[in-house]
Amino acid sequence: MRKYELLSIIKPNIDSEEFDKVVAKIEETIVSLEGKVILTDKMGRKKLSYDIQDYRDGYFAVQTFEMDPSQVEKFRRQLRLNENILRIMLLEISEVKA
């Protein structure tokens, strides 16, 4: 299992309750792919640096989780199928050795 961090930008035209449902769906997807959610940070609505699909702002959420590397591509595919997600950035967190 490796550690990952996911930044999601979610469409701003949904209400905060729907935003919570989208974040919960992402967490369910992680668990269904035998991953483990460590931390979820709902950063709220923020202005974007540039327009994405004609939206000037979006809801931001960051999740830290563990997942088998073989499941990551399936996870990305599931995220692409969600029409409420504008953009994602998925990073592998590496352990720093002194």
Per-residue model confidence as pLDDT tens digits over 5-62: 999 999 999 998 999 999 999 999 999 999 999 999 999 999 999 999 999 999 999 9
Q: At what angle do helices 16-32 and 72-81 cross, to 10 degrees?
A: 150
Q: How far is it, in rounded angstroms, from Cα 13 to Cα 23?
A: 15
Q: How many CB atoms lie within 10 A of CB 26?
A: 23
Over residues 82-98, mean pLDDT: 88
Q: How far is it, in rounded angstroms, from Cα 94 to Cα 47?
A: 29
- Of 90, 96, 97, 92, nearest to 2 by C-alpha is 92
Q: Which domains does the chain have, with CATH numbers?
A: 2-85 (3.30.70.60)
Over residues 77-89, mean pLDDT: 94
**What pTM was estimated for this model as a whole?**
0.89
Q: Count of residues for the chain?
A: 98
Q: Counting Cβ atoms within 10 Å, is residue 73 exposed (0-12), middle (13-18) or buried (19+)?
A: exposed
Please report which confidence band the pLDDT of residue 98 belongs to, taking 50, 70 and 90 as the band edges. low
